[in-house]
Amino acid sequence: MGRLWRRLTGRRPRLVSLRTTFAVSFAAVAAGVTLLVGVLSYNAAARLVRVDQESVFDQVVQDLRDEVRQRRMMPADFLSSAPGHDVVRPARTDVQVLGPDGSVSDPGNPGLPVVDADRRIAAAATAGRLAEHADVDVGDDVYRVATVSLGGGRGAVQVAQEFSDTEDLLRALQRRTLLLMAAVVVGAGLFGWWLARRITRRLVLLTAAAEDVARTRRLGIQVPVTGYDEVGRLGRAFDRMLGRLAQSEEDQRRLVQDAGHELRTPLTSLRTNISLLRRIDELPPAAREELVADLGQEARELTDLVNELVDLAAGQSDSEPPRRVDLAEIARDVAGLARRRSGREITVRASGDTTADGRPGMLTRAVSNLVENAVKFDRDGTAPVEIVVAGPARPGTVRVEVLDRGPGIADCDLTRVFDRFYRAADARSLPGSGLGLSIVREVALAHRGAPFAYRRDGGGTAIGFTVGGGPAGDGGAGG
C-alpha cells in the first residue's frame, strides 16, 4: 500500500502515531457526545424558559379579560396611580391604558406602539376582546403585546411582556455551553494523548526493537518486556520469536560449517581417484578394481552424508502437523523394516500408555536411526536388538530406548555421541557420517524431550530419547 501511494503521489505516506490517533479519537468522541448533550440540554432549557414565560403572560392576559368581563371598569381603574392596576402589574408586565378613541391616556414604561387593531379594540362595545402582537420592537427590546377591550367603547388596556431579556439570558447560556463544550473537547484530547502515551509507550519500544532488527539484521537484541497485559504478552512472544530465529540461524550456520568440513574429505578423495582415472590404462588390473571399488564406496558414503544432511535440515524445519501417535506402533513398524533389511532379530517391548503428541515422520526417523546405529555397531552379534517403549515415567512422558550387546560406548564418548559428525575413535573405520544420533537429538528436542545414552550392565549400549517431558532419568546423559 505504501509503495502504491508513493507511485501515485510521488511522496511517502505520512505516518500517524497511535498517540495522535488516540488523542483525536478521544477528542472526536468527546466533541460528539458533548455537542449532543449540550444541544439537547440547551434546547430543553430554552423551551422550558420560553414556555414558562409565555404561560405566565397568557395567564395574566386571561385574568385581565376575566376581570373586565365580570366588572364594569373604566380606563381610570388601570392608571398607574389607581389601585386597580395591581391586577396586572405584579407579573412584571408593562401596562399602557388607551382611551375610547385609541389615544394613550396612561403611557407604559416604556411606551407601547398603538396600531389600528388596538384602536378598534378600544372602541369595541364588548368587554374582553383581544388583539395580540408578537415580537414588537420597543427601542432595543422585543415585547409581546396584548390589547384587551374594556367594553362599551370605554377604551382598552395594553399589557406587554419583554422577551429580549429572556433571549439574552439564553444566549449567555448558549455561550457558556459552547465554552464548556470546548473545554471538555480539549480536556478529552489531552487525556486521550496522556492515556495513549501511557498505553503505547511499550509498543513504541517494541516497534523500535523490531525496526532495529530489520535495519541491522541482528537477532540478539534486548527486547523490553514489562506487564502481563496484551502488550506484555506481545513483547514476550516477540522476544521468544527472536530467540528461536537466532537459534535457528546459529543452527544453520553450524550445520553449514560442519557439513562443509565433513564434505571436504570425501570430495578430496574423489578428486584424487578421478585424477587417477586418466591413467587407468596404465594401472594393473588389481589396482583398477581397487580404484573402482574406492570410487563406489566414496560415492555411497557421500550420498549417505548428503541424505543425512537433508534429513537433519528437514528435522529442524519439519512442517508436518503434530497429532496423537503411538510410539509403540512406530517402533513395531521400524523393527519390521529393519528385520527385512538386516536379517537381525529385533524385538519390541511396550508398557504403559505409549501415546503422545508428535510428528510421526520425525519420530519414525529417530527410532529408525537408533536401530540402524545398534545394528551397525553390533554387526556380528547374535543377541537380539531390543526396542523398549515405556510410558509414562512422568506425567505425559514416553521413553524410547534401543538396547544392544555390541562393544559399547566409552565413558568419554557418552556425552558427545549426539554431536553432529562426532564419531568415536573405534567407530571411524565403520560406514556412516556421524549425523544419525544428531538427528535423534533434534527430534527429541522438537518434542520437548531429550536424548540419552548409557552403558549396559553385561556389555552393550542403551541409546534413546524421551518425548514430552524433559530430560531423561536413570543414568541418562543428554546430548
For the chain, the domains span: 71-165, 219-317, 320-479
Q: Which H/E stretch holds residue 275?
A: helix 230-277
Query: φ, ψ for residue 355 (rounded to 5)?
Result: -95, 150
Of 139, 155, 140, nearest in space to 68 by CA:
155
Q: What's the angle, vertex CA 426, arms to CA 422 and CA 431, rounded to 5?
A: 65
Q: Domain 320-479 belongs to what topology?
A: Heat Shock Protein 90 (3.30.565)
Q: What is the pLDDT, as a whole number, of residue 82?
A: 58
Task: Please state, in angstroms and rounded to a whole number, the distance separating the CA atoms of residues 449 and 398.
Answer: 9
Q: Say if CB 170 and CB 46 are below 8 A apart.
A: yes
Q: Is 465 exposed, middle or buried (0-12, 13-18, 19+ CB in 10 A)?
A: buried
Task: Please state, in angstroms and rounded to a whole number, the distance separating the CA atoms of residues 167 and 392.
Answer: 87
DSSP per residue over 129-160, as a string?
Answer: -EEEEEEEEETTEEEEEEEEE-STT--EEEEE
30-33: long-range contacts, CB 8 A cutoff, minimum separation 24: 30/184, 30/185, 30/187, 30/188, 30/189, 31/181, 31/185, 31/188
Residues 133-164: b if buried by 16+ CB within 10 A, e if exposed = beebebeebbbbbbbbbbbeebbbbbbbbbbe
Please state the length of the chain. 479
pTM of the model: 0.45
What class, spelled out in words, does domain 219-317 have in CATH? Answer: mainly alpha
Q: What is the pLDDT, as a whole number, of residue 408?
A: 73
pLDDT tens-digit profile, the chain (479 residues): 445 445 545 555 455 566 677 777 777 887 788 778 777 877 777 777 667 777 777 888 888 888 888 888 888 777 766 554 555 554 457 788 888 888 888 887 788 888 888 888 888 888 888 888 877 777 777 788 888 888 888 888 888 877 766 666 777 777 887 888 788 878 877 887 787 777 777 777 777 777 777 777 777 677 777 777 777 777 788 778 887 787 777 777 776 766 665 566 567 777 777 777 777 777 788 877 777 777 777 777 677 667 766 665 665 555 678 889 999 999 999 998 888 877 888 999 999 889 998 988 889 888 988 888 888 877 777 788 999 999 886 777 899 999 988 877 777 667 777 776 655 545 444 444 556 788 888 888 888 899 998 888 878 889 999 998 544 434 333 33
Q: What is the pLDDT, as a whole number, of residue 41?
A: 76
